[in-house]
Amino acid sequence: MEDMLLMTPGPTMVPEEVKKVAGMQPFHHRTEEFYQLFSKLNENLKKIFQTKNEVITLTSSGTGGMEAAVANLFSAGDKVLVASIGYFGERFYDIARAYGLDAEIYDFGWGNAVDLDILEDKLKKGNYKALLVTHNETSTGVTNNIENIAKIANRYNVPVIVDAVSSLGGIPLKMDEWGIDAVITCSQKCLMSPPGLSFIALSDRAWEMTKTSNLPKYYFDLRKAREGVLKPKPDTPATPAVSTIMAVAKATDMLLEKGLDNVYKKQSEYGKKVRKYVKELGLDLLPSEEVASNLITAIKVPERYKASDIINYMKEKHRVLITGGQGPLKGKIIRIGHMGYLTDEMLDKALYALKDAISSL
């Protein structure tokens, strides 16, 4: 039976070359073979994050990377602002609250991007320790303008912590150039690999913040993990997901060989193609075109349909898997992911499956 075509927010499809590596006998993590592999991965990640600083590898989902950022950068009672535009903005807020931060959430609305004027007014008056924000909100198909958000935050000397779980390696993000203090991503989205790893990079200012953090941490201690990365033979404090590290090393080689600018251009073309096709079917997008993501498209479900019927039809008839809405959008939208490893043929198959579902149901 052919593989299910995953047109979801993640996990995404994995290239054959990467699957082959992931299926190999894993290296022992205290051997020369692993040290060389891990060193190469670290260099690849720095290029993709576009930072001069170390990138820390954690064996966890992207949420673990978000939790590590909170646990390592703050102390109990620190006042932070969460600029939320959907489900994962709210998750960042929940993590901050769980660690005892004085977290304030501003909801810009599901389907909207961060309003820069409102954000500036909040930062100007708020005396916040940091700003927590999502780059690409998969629950709504919206991409925030992180470059301009970071400019505003830096104007008021507020560190910027960015959830780039679904965006890094798919759309532009220039950590050092844009003045971002922490960037978090994971293996199973734009990095074209199986789930199991998260990655986090910190600016010099953020590493200074880790020195005064008093929140509990052990497995997610980034300073301890950084010591391993800086060794002549780099490793991790505990046993990592070695097979996934092997896979991501191969996938990042492929991304860099293709060239990040070429990847960004192709993702932009895919985003425009999906949105155009959806409109031609007579369907409406959730967000406006100006803020719509090139990595995932959120589509309003007409009243005469059920989201679950569309999803199930595409899955059973065409072996194409898409997803529905989350939170207040459950049952109201469907979401087509088009990030990471994707070919024209795969996208065409998914779009035809959507058309067939709409016309047949």
Query: What's the mean pLDDT in 99-104?
Result: 98
Q: List, for residues 193-224, the tens digit of each pLDDT value.
A: 999 999 999 999 999 999 999 999 999 999 99
Does position 1 have pLDDT exceeding 80, yes or no? no
* Domains in the chain: boundaries: 5-12+259-360, 16-257
How far apart CA 343 and CA 200 sit, in angstroms, is 28
Q: List, for residues 116-173, the tens digit of each pLDDT value.
A: 999 999 999 999 999 999 999 999 999 999 999 999 999 999 999 999 999 999 999 9
Mean of pLDDT over the chain: 98
pLDDT for 252? 98
* pTM recorded for the entire structure: 0.97
Is 97 annotated as belonging to a binding site? no
Which tokens belong to 32?
Answer: 């020369």
pLDDT for 223? 98
Q: Are 352 and 318 in contact (CB under 8 A)?
A: yes
CATH 3.40.640.10 fits 16-257, yes or no: yes
CATH 3.90.1150.10 fits 5-12+259-360, yes or no: yes
SS3 338: coil
Tell me, yes or no, if the two domains 5-12+259-360 and 16-257 fold the same way: no
Identify the CA nearest to 247 among candidates 24, 5, 53, 2: 24
Q: Band the pLDDT of 2: cuts 50, 70, 90.
A: confident
